[in-house]
Structure 1
Amino acid sequence: MLMRKKRFMIVVLALMLILPAFLVDANQSTSTSVEKVVAEKAEGELASKDEVVYANLHANGELHEIYVVNILEVIKAGTILDYGKYSSVTNLTDLSEIEQVDGTVLIDAPEGKYYYQGNMKESGQLPWDIKVSYLLDGTVLSPEELAGKDGHVEINIFTSANENADRVFFENYLLQVSLTLDPDIFRNIETNDGMTVNVGKNKQITFSVMPDRDAKLIIQADAVDFELQGIEIAAIPMSMSIDTPDIDEMTEDMKTLTSAIKELNEGVGKLNDGVTELNDGVTSLRNGSKQYQDGMTSISDASGELVDASDAINEALATISHSLTNSEGMDLTELKNLPGGLSQIANGLNETANGLSTLRENYTVVYQTLDSAIMAIPQYQITEQDIHGLYQSGANKVVVDQLVETYTAALTARATYSAVKEGFDAVHVTLQKVSGAINEMGGSLTSIANGLSSSLENMDDENSFAQLQEGLETLAINYREFHAGLVSYTGGVGQLSNSYNELHAGIIELSGGTAELEDGVGELYDGTNELYDATKDLPDQMQEEIDSMIAEYDRSDFEAVSFVSSENEKINSVQFVIKTESIKKVELETSKIEVVEEKGFWARLVQLFSRG
């Protein structure tokens, strides 16, 4: 037993010593065999290589198999080395054998185009993860379950980057996804972004997925007896150069728009200044109008007392005149107080006249300020077409709405002022006439009081008394006329006071309107300022945006690389042709029993050779 253990240990040690050397020799022999084959044959020369990658997918998008058709442009006949981990290779050019050793394909290729197919191992990966799901009336079904069904069908195709594959193809290749739908099966076809065209009797829907983009593609339709041809996906490099478009004309238009916005902003700025002056003027007018209204109200309120006092004087003069005519030796002591009363009335009228003169002067100043502010509002003739063009220019709609509203309000304010301007002018003239009339009445009463006072002082005989009697009679007659004029005047003052209350209410409303107008124009000016700041660099911003978009999709500098092996050089192009399996109904086949006719030896011999 001990001897057996020793022999076993010796054998194990021998194997440990021999095996590494054997493995090294195996690897060296593989490398040597490739070099030996190349050395034994004439070396060929390759100009370029194209790869067409074919992938078959299951109906749900899962990978089934990948095989690559390699197209070699041989410019010198001889042995060509190509690289790729294939499970098997097939010569598509002639009947010669292709040798494959550990990821190296050795080809004895003639000059010209040489084609061979390599079937990739199960570990092969596409650059894209492709998933397809099917819904029938909102319920997810497998492709097998959906076949032959009726109802509303939704097909969702998802594409994204395969993190286990080289991203160079995902980042630089454009996907074109196509579905062919039989109109006998599908009705009311809808897609999210697909383009639908007629191909024979069928409808073909094509989607484009840009490089470096995930996508969800949706097709909806009403289906009867559902079947679907395989979904075809082509992947090609988006290597075309995108020329920068000529946008000079567009930028010139944008510059024109920017200039117009600048002028608009400056115009709104001037309008804002004018409206501010207008509002200040209207505010002063409102304050002056309030003072005038208060004065007219006071005068109107005092008119009753003035008329009563004048009526008393009128009756007193009539009584005195009548008494002097019919009496002799009457006491004139009470009569001497009459000039003082007339002087007081005259002084009151003079003060009223002076107050009205001051009010007229203030009113004139305020009115001139209002008139200047209103006349400063520009009368631009902006048509509906101009306003529509401003809306279509891309300007901020809220700002344009405010501009149009302000423009309309400004024209309304100017038109309203023009309509009531005659009323303002009439107030000025009325104040001037009323002030003059009151001054005249005050002067007349002062003259009468002075004359009466002088007459009373000089009355010392019968002649003087007779003159006094005659003078008082004349005074009584004239005062009756004065009293009638005073009553008419106070009636006019009352009417003017009532009318001016309405005018003052209108001025207050106008003041409120101009205040709102000032706020609105201020907001509008802020908006046009913001609009101008946002658009003044618009032409340059457009060019930068276009350059950025072109740079995002321009793949003109992309250089093709091999899909199957990074060792392959001189790659001209790599294309992908991907297709899912079709969804077909399972047909029940009727088994047929074939009757085999018994044949003789010679008949079987002829049949054998005919197959060859």
Structure 2
Amino acid sequence: MGKKQLTYSALALMLFLPSFLSVPAQAATEGKVSSKDEVVYATLNAEGNLDHIYVVNTFDVERAGKILDYGQYSSVKNLTDLKELNQEGEKIEMEAPEGKFTYQGNMNENTELPWDVKVSYVLDGKKVDPSGLAGKSGHLDIHIDTAENESGDSVFYENYLLQMSMSLPNTYENIEAADGMVANAGKNKQVTFTVMPGKEKKLTVEADVKDFEFKGVEIAAVPSTLPIDTTGTEGMTGDMSELSNAIGKLNEGVAELETGVTQLNNGAASLRDGSAQYKNGVAELNGSSSQLVGASGSIRDALATINKSLAGQSADVDLSSLNELPAGLNQLAGGLNETAAGITKLKDNYAQAYAALDVAIKGIPASQVTEEEIAALRESSPNPEVVDKLAASNAAAQKVKGTYDSVNQAFAAVEPSLNQMSGAVTEISAQLTSISNNLSASLKETDMSGLAELQKGLSELSAKYGDFHSGLVSYTDGVGQLSSNYGKLHSGIAELAGGTGELEGGVSDLHDGTSELHQETKDLPEKMQEEINKMMDEYDKSDFKPVSFVSGENEKVSSVQFVIKTESIEKEKEEEKKAEPEKEKGFWELFLDLFR
């Protein structure tokens, strides 16, 4: 039995001995690496505190041989073959075959991630520790806060995009993620968030949970290589150019409107002043009508008395009072001439004011701004108050134009009436002058023998003057009615002038607003393009060159990625009955198993 056992031992020694006695034919050659990839795996606890980090390094080896790598590893492990790795401080030396070569390095405990991740849980409004959350039911909020880790490498925080995801069972109800996307993933709901480079973020997922379990938060950090398509920006800036040009045209139109409203207001003011003069003149004329009628009545009575006295053919007739009659008639005619001159002057002033008003109001565009146009302008304008003023001013202008159109015939009829009135007063004055002249001539050439003929003429004069006096009374009554009615018309003209004054002030404010708006928006396309370029520069990391996470001495790094996961929250499972351990095999049995 001992002999047989010795034979087996000798056989085993013969099989293994050559491997120890073999000597390498030549020294190891230097390998050549074309690129290196790093994938950083980090495990966090349920609250986001760092547990441990390891890195999987993958080399693209162009020529087999010895290669070097650097990293602050507590230990390393070959993942490609069974060859040992030589670690001296931060330097790792290895024999790598041609092709892909991979090894794992476990980072030192003082290694920090570039991001600070905090996860908290609130169940039914109360913050709970994750250790006691498994199996609970209720309304759960999961808060994830990300920020820069001041102790980490900022180059990754500034240039890497975070993609966070978590899986929740479909049995959970009312799943909501304000800044994320919720999608179906088989029997689960997949919640995904994106955090842009260099940005802090506070994220929340809420759901009604039952018998809660959670697989944790998975975070992938990769370089931001979002494709930014700039073709659409040309259309946007083109639209902004059209808007800017439209605002410029609007400002020009408001400037023209302001000029027209100013002319309208000046015309209305002139009309108001002329109307006030006319009103005062008519009032003054009406005030003197009683005196005029009284004087005319006295003349009428005097003529009637003289005529009555002469009718008696008295030889002792006193003609001294009759001699005073022509002077009274001339004085009355002179007063009427002054009245006619005042009416003529009033007519001329009115004609000028009316012509200015007519031109100004006809200058207001007849087309009205529609409600749809105002609504569209209000949506495109950064200052809705300016648009409201424009709408109010336009409405006021249209109201003035409509009011003027409705009373235009009355305005137009005033001037002919004044002209007719002036002519009638002038004609009456001329008749009085003629009567006075004829009477004076008759008195000079008449003696007592011609008294009968004089009496006859005075009788006719008295009769005619009675008709004249009746006409004069009718005229003064008309002047009274004109004075009363024109007072109302003047009030309307004054109100119109006040309205145009307010309109001018409103349009002036509007023009100031549109001018300011135009100044602010005339460079809008260029400013918008600058903001677009700024945004693109902020998020376009296409020029970023990867650097090693583990050591600045590593070269030819083509990519560095991070895979970060928080600890799962699971219910405790019942311990399964452990199977009986197999009897440990000896060396010889293990050796024989190679041939079985």
Normalised TM-score (structure 2)? 0.88
Other-structure match for 1:511: 497
How far apart are 1:325 and its partner, in Å? 2.5
Other-structure match for 1:347: 334
Other-structure match for 2:106: 119
Quick one: distance in 1 between partners of 2:513 and 2:274?
34
2:425 to 410, 430, 438: 438
- What are the within-5 Å matches in structure 2 for residues 96-245 of structure 1? 96-185=83-172, 187-239=173-225, 242-245=228-231
Q: Please say if residues 284 and 366 of structure 1, whose CA atoms lie closer than 8 Å, have aligned partners that are also in contact.
A: yes
Distance verdict in 2 for CA 1:223–1:312, change over 3 Å: farther
Distance verdict in 2 for CA 1:149–1:480, change over 3 Å: farther
1:469 to 438, 443, 455: 455
How far apart are 1:475 and its partner, in Å? 1.6
Which amino acid letter does the alignment assign opposite residue 471 of structure 1? G
Which amino acid letter does the alignment assign opposite residue 264 of structure 2? L
Quick one: distance in 1 between partners of 2:195 and 2:327?
109
Which amino acid letter does the alignment assign opposite residue 456 of structure 2? E
Q: Please say if residues 241 and 556 of structure 1, whose CA atoms lie closer than 8 Å, have aligned partners that are also in contact.
A: no
Which amino acid letter does the alignment assign opposite residue 84 of structure 1? G
Segment of structure 1 superposing worse, 77-86 or 553-562: 77-86
Which amino acid letter does the alignment assign opposite residue 533 of structure 1? Q
Equivalences, count: 567
1:292 to 272, 278, 288: 278
Q: Helix, strand or coil for the counterpart of 2:324? A: helix
How far apart are 1:101 and its partner, in Å? 2.1
In the alignment, is residue 60 of structure 1 matched against residue 43 of structure 2?
no
Q: Please say if residues 64 and 96 of structure 2, whose CA atoms lie closer than 8 Å, have aligned partners that are also in contact.
A: yes
Q: Please say if residues 244 and 547 of structure 1, whose CA atoms lie closer than 8 Å, have aligned partners that are also in contact.
A: no
Other-structure match for 1:257: 243
1:403 to 386, 390, 396: 390
Q: Please say if residues 57 and 581 of structure 1, whose CA atoms lie closer than 8 Å, have aligned partners that are also in contact.
A: yes
How far apart are 1:381 and its partner, in Å? 5.8
Segment of structure 1 superposing worse, 448-457 or 107-116: 448-457
Q: Please say if residues 183 and 202 of structure 1, whose CA atoms lie closer than 8 Å, have aligned partners that are also in contact.
A: yes
Other-structure match for 1:453: 440
Quick one: distance in 1 between partners of 2:320 and 2:584?
182
Distance verdict in 2 for CA 1:350–1:594, change over 3 Å: closer
Q: Please say if residues 368 and 398 of structure 2, whose CA atoms lie closer than 8 Å, have aligned partners that are also in contact.
A: no
How far apart are 1:476 and its partner, in Å? 1.9
In the alignment, is residue 561 of structure 1 matched against residue 547 of structure 2?
yes
In the alignment, is residue 304 of structure 1 matched against residue 318 of structure 2?
no
How far apart are 1:592 and its partner, in Å? 7.4
Structure 1 residue runs without a partner (length 5+)? 1-36
Q: Please say if residues 368 and 394 of structure 2, whose CA atoms lie closer than 8 Å, have aligned partners that are also in contact.
A: no
Q: Deviations over 1:385-410 (max 9, x none)?
A: 44444334445333233223322322
Q: Please say if residues 267 and 360 of structure 2, whose CA atoms lie closer than 8 Å, have aligned partners that are also in contact.
A: yes
Segment of structure 1 superposing worse, 577-586 or 508-517: 577-586
Quick one: distance in 2 between partners of 1:71 and 1:470?
147
How far apart are 1:568 and its partner, in Å? 1.1
Normalised TM-score (structure 1)? 0.86
Q: Helix, strand or coil for the counterpart of 1:160? A: strand
How far apart are 1:559 and its partner, in Å? 0.6
Other-structure match for 2:72: 85
Q: Deviations over 1:395-450 (max 9, x none)?
A: 53332332233223222222222222211111111111111111111111121222
Segment of structure 1 superposing worse, 189-198 or 418-427: 189-198
Which amino acid letter does the alignment assign opposite residue 314 of structure 2? E
Q: Deviations over 1:219-273 (max 9, x none)?
A: 2333333332211111000145645435444444433333333232222222222
- What are the within-5 Å matches in structure 2 for residues 9-24 of structure 1? none
Which amino acid letter does the alignment assign opposite residue 266 of structure 2? D
Q: Helix, strand or coil for the counterpart of 1:556? A: coil
Which amino acid letter does the alignment assign opposite residue 303 of structure 2? L
- What are the within-5 Å matches in structure 2 for residues 301-380 of structure 1? 301-326=287-312, 328-329=314-315, 330-380=317-367
2:265 to 251, 254, 279: 279
Q: Please say if residues 239 and 557 of structure 1, whose CA atoms lie closer than 8 Å, have aligned partners that are also in contact.
A: no
Q: Deviations over 1:446-476 (max 9, x none)?
A: 21222222222322133x2112211222122
1:496 to 474, 482, 487: 482
Segment of structure 1 superposing worse, 436-445 or 260-269: 260-269
Q: Deviations over 1:492-528 (max 9, x none)?
A: 1111111111111111111111111111111121122
How far apart are 1:40 and its partner, in Å? 4.8
Q: Please say if residues 43 and 79 of structure 1, whose CA atoms lie closer than 8 Å, have aligned partners that are also in contact.
A: yes
Quick one: distance in 1 between partners of 2:577 and 2:132?
31
Quick one: distance in 2 between partners of 1:84 and 1:316?
139
Which amino acid letter does the alignment assign opposite residue 353 of structure 1? A
Other-structure match for 2:473: 487
Q: Please say if residues 313 and 451 of structure 2, whose CA atoms lie closer than 8 Å, have aligned partners that are also in contact.
A: no
In the alignment, is residue 268 of structure 1 matched against residue 265 of structure 2?
no
How far apart are 1:125 and its partner, in Å? 0.8
Distance verdict in 2 for CA 1:520–1:91, change over 3 Å: same
Other-structure match for 1:21: none
Which amino acid letter does the alignment assign opposite residue 545 of structure 2? E
Quick one: distance in 1 between partners of 2:213 and 2:420?
102
Quick one: distance in 1 between partners of 2:208 and 2:227?
41
Q: Helix, strand or coil for the counterpart of 1:482? A: helix
Quick one: distance in 2 between partners of 1:592 and 1:274?
96
Segment of structure 1 superposing worse, 529-538 or 65-74: 529-538
Distance verdict in 2 for CA 1:122–1:429, change over 3 Å: same
Other-structure match for 1:418: 405
